[in-house]
Amino acid sequence: MNEEILTPVLDWLDLAGVAIFALTGALVAAKEKQTLVTLSFFALITGVGGGTIRDLLIEAPVFWIADPWVAAICLGMALFAWFTPTRWWEGRFLSIVDGLGLAAYAVLGTAKALEYGVPPVPAFLMGVITGCAGGIIRDVIAGRPSILMRPELYVTAAALSAALTVAGGMAGFERWYVWIAATVAGFGLRLAAIRWNLALPAYDERGASKE
């Protein structure tokens, strides 16, 4: 992390997002009964995928190359998944954990882009990419249907967190409060989507042909 640009709050958001996404990646591999090496690979690629793309696009130092804690956290999450039974993670728990990482990472990506001087709209997009890309990479490598192809709200939750981060910054509110509120809002929307299967309207070719 560049300590002259990023604050301790962003540091914690970054590590929290890495840990959560790394756990979801390792659990996907565990459910497929893979080796510890594969669990570690999935943990790393899921934990750092979105942040790596963001850093390359905004021309920032790739965060996990300079910070030895990131890879260590990913390995720790892989070991944690390895030594716990998969039945602990059945049901919606994995989606809920992923939703928390999604919101935290969307806020982090947006805030970091803004701190590096990226304009508001591209910074918003950096937040969405940071929040979503790791999970997409995880699903593609695992051969699972991507979350993007499901109707329930996912990218929208990341977009809400990113938009609130941008709006709060432009309004001049205290950054810490903005980041926390944006994380809670995005996570809350994702939880609501999981609980009540909330989704945006899907494209209807028959309806479109009538217009």
pLDDT along the chain (211 residues), means of 10: 54 82 93 95 96 94 88 96 87 85 93 94 97 92 84 91 97 91 96 92 66 49
Q: In whole angstroms, give the CA distance from residue 183 to residue 187.
A: 6
Give Cα separations from 192 to 103, 146, 154, 187 (angstroms).
13, 20, 11, 9
Q: In whole angstroms, give the CA distance from residue 13 to residue 109.
A: 10
Yes or no: say if 147 and 136 are a contact pair by the CB < 8 Å rule: yes
74 CB-near residues (< 8 Å, 6+ apart): 18, 22, 40, 43, 44, 47, 48
Looking at residue 17, its pLDDT comes to 84
Looking at residue 206, its pLDDT comes to 63
Amino acid 60 reads A
Give Cα separations from 155 to 102, 161, 162, 174, 177 (angstroms).
9, 10, 10, 26, 23
Whole-model pTM?
A: 0.89
